[in-house]
């Protein structure tokens, strides 16, 4: 077990391979937040932190004496707590649109993150089915990936943080988009070359691809 966290620090308890942890690490690096990132297993988190996270899950954020553990809550908290650069618009319509995209990609039934989890840990039959669905979904949205530099945006948002972590894993998930997915790959490479994305990678994640 780790020692009690420093109440004056912003500490992220992160899984070195988990896609959701990667999203948060990307956001923290993009905002250049002074932070302590601990990549570990759930059983290695201090007991006082686990007691405040009934889901006992990663990623878990400790900041200003509070413990946050839902991905969407963590992302929006970081954006409001560290407002530069902003990763969500102040416009309520645009913000709601981005929230719906995040829900669609990370939490809805059969969302992209769930499909990625199934590919990695499900049975071969379920993994093959999930792989086919995820590839099809990505190809269907090719026009949106090509529309602007970022996903439906001129500037990076937390939606891009979610997509970047997912797309980095395509090779590991054995998904090849080919020529029809060129716009998706071009979009992904724009994210992968950002200094913040490179800084967000753990040693094991670096092995998924070469930048």
Structural element, H or E, at residue 66: strand 66-68
What the block records as the tokens of 93 is 């319509």
How many CA within 13 A on the CB side of residue 115?
A: 26
Average pLDDT over residues 74-83: 96
Contact 60, 68 (CB under 8 A): yes
How many structural domains comprise the chain? 1
Mean pLDDT for 46-71 is 89
User: Has residue 59 been placed in a domain?
Assistant: no
Cβ proximity of 112 and 166 under 8 Å: yes
Tokens found for residue 35: 């932070």
Structure confidence at residue 84 (pLDDT) = 94
- Tell me how far apart the alpha carbons of residues 41 and 56 are, in angstroms, rounded to a whole number: 11
For 111-160, what is each residue's pLDDT tens digit?
999 999 999 998 999 999 999 999 999 999 999 999 899 999 999 999 99
Residue range(s) defining the domain that contains residue 150: 92-194
Is residue 182 domain-resident? yes
DSSP state, residue 69 = -
Q: What is the pLDDT of residues 160-203, one digit of tens each?
A: 999 999 999 999 999 999 999 999 999 999 999 999 999 999 99
Give the span between the Cα atoms of 138 and 163, in whole angstroms. 10
Q: Within a domain: residue 39?
A: no
> Are the C-beta atoms of 112 and 52 separated by less than 8 Å?
no
Residue 20 falls inside a structural domain: no
| pTM for the whole structure | 0.94
Cis bond before residue 152 (omega within 30° of 0)? no
The CATH number given to whatever domain includes residue 132 is: 1.20.1050.10
* CA torsion, ordered 68, 160, 164, 5, to nearest 10 deg: -20
Q: Is residue 171 part of a domain?
A: yes
What are 131's two structure tokens? 């792989």
């Amino acid at each position: 077990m780790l020692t009690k966290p420093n109440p004056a620090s912003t500490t992220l308890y992160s899984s070195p391979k988990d896609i959701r942890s990667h999203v948060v690490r990307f956001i923290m690096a993009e905002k250049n937040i002074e932070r302590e990132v601990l990549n570990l297993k759930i059983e290695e988190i201090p007991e006082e932190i686990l007691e405040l996270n009934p889901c006992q899950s990663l990623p878990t954020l400790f900041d200003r004496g509070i413990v946050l553990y839902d991905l969407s809550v963590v992302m929006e908290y970081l954006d409001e707590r560290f407002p530069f650069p902003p990763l969500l618009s102040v416009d309520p319509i645009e913000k709601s649109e981005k929230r719906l995209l995040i829900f669609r990609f990370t939490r809805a039934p059969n969302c992209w993150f769930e499909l990625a989890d199934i590919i990695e840990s499900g049975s071969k039959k379920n993994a093959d089915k999930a792989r086919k669905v995820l590839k099809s979904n990505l190809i269907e949205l090719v026009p949106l990936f090509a529309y602007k530099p970022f996903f439906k945006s001129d500037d990076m948002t937390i939606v891009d943080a979610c997509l970047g972590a997912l797309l980095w894993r395509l090779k590991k998930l054995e998904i090849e988009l080919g020529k029809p997915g060129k716009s998706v790959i071009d979009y992904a490479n724009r994210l992968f070359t950002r200094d913040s994305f490179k800084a967000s990678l753990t040693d094991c994640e670096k092995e998924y691809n070469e930048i």
